[in-house]
Amino acid sequence: MEKNTFYITTPIYYPSAQLHIGHALTTVMADTMTRYKKMQGFDTYFLTGSDEHGQKIERAAKAAGKEPIEYVDEIVKGFKHLWEKLLITNDDFIRTTEERHKSSVQQIFKKIYDQGDIYCSEYEGWYCTPCETFFTERQVGEEKVCPDCGRPVELVKEESYFFRMSKYQDRLLKHIEENPDFIQPVTRRNEMINFIKSGLEDLCISRTTFDWGIPVPINDKHVIYVWFDALSNYITALGYGTDHDEKYQKYWPADIHLVGKDIVRFHTIIWPTILMAADLPLPKQIYGHGWLLSDTGKMSKSKGNVVDPLVLIDKYGLDAIRYFLLREIPAGSDGYYSEDALIQRVNTDLANDYGNLVSRTVAMIEKYFSGVIPAPEVPGEHDEELISLAKEVAQEAKGYMDKLDFANALTSIWKLVNRANKYIDETMPWLLAKDEAKKGRLGTVLYNLVEAIRYVTLMIAPVMPTIPDKVWAQIGAVAEENKDWSDLVWGQTKQGQKVSKRDAIFPRIDIKEKQQGNKEEKPKVKKSKEEQKIEPQKEEITIEDFAKLDLRVAEVVACEKVEKTDKLLKLEVKLGDEVRTIVSGIAKHYTPEELVGKKIVMVANLKPAKLRGITSQGMILAASQGDVLEVISVDKDLPGGSRIK
């Protein structure tokens, strides 16, 4: 019988400094995969933790004037806090300084020693402390620098225990060749095959020149090499080597060790050969994802080009950060981070495409059907295209998710978001609403939109964990009934379900304002001059002056009162494919319902301004005299975005 368990791990990160968004990428990937598998009924186990021993940590603690344990305790608190903020659902957090880990590592060492694959000899060679890696003369070259990170290496000459790694070269190669999924993606697999073919040497697995580590069980002058110690976490955390090894029995071998490409070699060569020597099963897959780059190269602590995920979460919310990381970094390749790119993703994909699809649909159901989802009784043009795409996307996205290809899974899901938005343009519900005879068709269109929203929302749940509940509340769906990909059968939304409009799920971000550190701009609205008589003409302007104004037809797709004010309305208007937010002081003259569906006139190139915390991206035109005010609108069927000259 196929095992229904799923065990995934992240690297255990070094607590030499706080984590950056590169680390968050790995952990968010693992969390998304866990949530996805859980949604399919798997019994999942998700492990992360901290790699606390070694010379690098010992030196960092010394530089900070602290004892190593005091130093790492503080930093590890920060790791755990970050994972909570990102809603990471790890089942355990292993620290290599915990007793449960240390005793188990000593057992693994002893087992391999007793079996004859560990011996004592003298090591003479080069060591890179930041990478905690030994290198040969040839590898460090004339400059004596680390071939991985480029920093200077140190000459080490000491008595050491060695692991007979070379003995397992052929067996490892055979395993990799016979199990094409063992190393993924395939480019990493090829790199590792070549590396192994160039010859494996025995591995030095103890150090004597510092003591921040786990003592070698047979000789306490030595501490165990930090990678031997660290890699073992994947089984020590499950209770391997203790009387309580139920988790080990249940979940090992791991389904996926998810790591960055920098440490694929340790996971696909050192770790499997240790397991072979200890006569234990090998993990099913090691997946090496690409790096997050900034404009100065790989984001890393040592380069000082890191971005603090906590700052981003506070500014943009955890769902947006998770979405960005998974959407922007192509599977297996490197990807770029910039704050502009992040804001762009939020505004385009999340606020405009998805958020507006939800708010427009809900607003129309409120307006035309008093908030009650109608029955889909009158099929029509474009329905089939939308429905068959929804089904196709559900399959396609699942295929990508299974391969940890989140960027393509999200791209696929957004095909449906965009198709649904296009369906609104094609079916034009606001015109159907004008003709009582077309009410049945209007109901069907809105029903189909709710279904498309339900499909998308269920599929993005593993990526953006707080969004589904917000959307279910708006479309009146039951969260419990929308938890499994295989529930995605078209037509599950019940007729009569009540919608309820709430705040925008993803408000648009004002790029300039965010980058100036969130400085509040003063609202730039003129006071209404209700008491005034006909105003005198303003000074003459030229045609060029007039041409600076970008006036457009804008279709109001959603509208609501701004909380705690009696003057302001917040409108969502459509200009071609773009949807903008406008705050306007017309609440005394119009109800939101009166405006939705209207085609109004707006100044599109007015500098955005913030009103009551909402960024207004344009101004609508209205004529007024005394207490009377009328919003200027067009009657003909001109699409939103049409220019007014």
Q: Which is nearer to ligand ME8, 119 or 336 (CB)?
A: 336
Task: Report CA-CA distances (Å) from 73 to 88, 105, 258.
Answer: 20, 21, 25
Using CA atoms, how far apart are residues 636 and 548, in angstroms rounded to an integer? 25
Least distance (Å) from ligand ME8 to the CB of residue 262? 5
What does the chain come to in residues?
A: 645
Which two structure tokens, joined as six digits, stand for 454? 């339900």
Considering only residues 300, 421, 493, 617, which one is a binding residue for ligand ME8 as defined by CB under 6 A? Answer: 300
Q: Which is nearer to ligand ME8, 214 or 231 (CB)?
A: 231
Q: Which is nearer to ligand ME8, 23 or 574 (CB)?
A: 23
Considering only residues 292, 459, 461, 586, which one is a binding residue for ligand ME8 as defined by CB under 6 A? Answer: 292
SS (H, E, C) 201-270: CCEECEECCCCCCCEECCEEEEEECHHHHHHCHHHHCCCCCCCCCHHHHHHCCCCEEEEEHHHHHHHHHH
Interface region with ligand ME8, contact rule CB under 6 A, candidates 166-174, 292-300, 540-548, 560-568: 292-300
Helix, strand or coil, per DSSP, at residue 304: coil
Please confirm whether the linkage preceding 309 is cis (ω < 30° from 0).
Answer: no
- What lies within 8 Å, CB to CB, of 341 at 6+ separation is 324, 328
Please return the burial class of 623, using the count of CB atoms within 10 Å of its CB with bins 0-12, 13-18 and 19+. Answer: exposed
- Pattern 250-279, binding to ligand ME8, x per CB under 6 A? ---------xx-xx----------------
> CB of 455 within 8 A of CB of 484?
no
| Alpha helices, DSSP H, located in 47-185 | 55-63, 68-85, 99-114, 137-140, 169-178
Q: Does 327 bind ligand ME8 (CB under 6 A)?
A: no
Q: Which is nearer to ligand ME8, 239 or 507 (CB)?
A: 239
Number of residues that bind ligand ME8 (CB under 6 A): 21
Of 237, 210, 216, nearest in space to 113 by CA: 216
Q: Which is nearer to ligand ME8, 12 or 432 (CB)?
A: 12
| Alpha helices, DSSP H, located in 428-466 | 429-432, 439-460
Q: Which is nearer to ligand ME8, 51 or 328 (CB)?
A: 51
- What lies within 8 Å, CB to CB, of 642 at 6+ separation is 552, 553
Which two structure tokens, joined as six digits, stand for 233? 């976490």
Bridge partners of residue 256, in order along the sequence: 8
Q: Does 13 bind ligand ME8 (CB under 6 A)?
A: yes
Amino acid at 511: I
Q: Does 468 bind ligand ME8 (CB under 6 A)?
A: no
- Pattern 572-601, binding to ligand ME8, x per CB under 6 A? ------------------------------
Rg, the chain, Cα only: 30
Q: Does 404 bind ligand ME8 (CB under 6 A)?
A: no
Least distance (Å) from ligand ME8 to the CB of residue 76? 12
Interface region with ligand ME8, contact rule CB under 6 A, candidates 61-69, 291-299, 408-416, 454-462: 291-299
Q: Does 231 bind ligand ME8 (CB under 6 A)?
A: yes
Least distance (Å) from ligand ME8 to the CB of residue 472? 33
Q: Which is nearer to ligand ME8, 146 or 397 (CB)?
A: 146
Give the pairing of strands 643-644 and 551-561. Answer: antiparallel
Least distance (Å) from ligand ME8 to the CB of residue 334? 8
Least distance (Å) from ligand ME8 to the CB of residue 12? 5
Considering only residues 212, 291, 406, 590, which one is a binding residue for ligand ME8 as defined by CB under 6 A? Answer: 291
Q: Which is nearer to ligand ME8, 46 or 506 (CB)?
A: 46
Q: Which is nearer to ligand ME8, 300 or 482 (CB)?
A: 300
Residues 22-81, interacting with ligand ME8 (CB under 6 A): 22-23, 25-26, 51
Least distance (Å) from ligand ME8 to the CB of residue 30? 9
| Binding stretches for ligand ME8 (CB under 6 A) | 11-14, 22-23, 25-26, 51, 230-231, 233, 259-260, 262-263, 291-292, 298-300
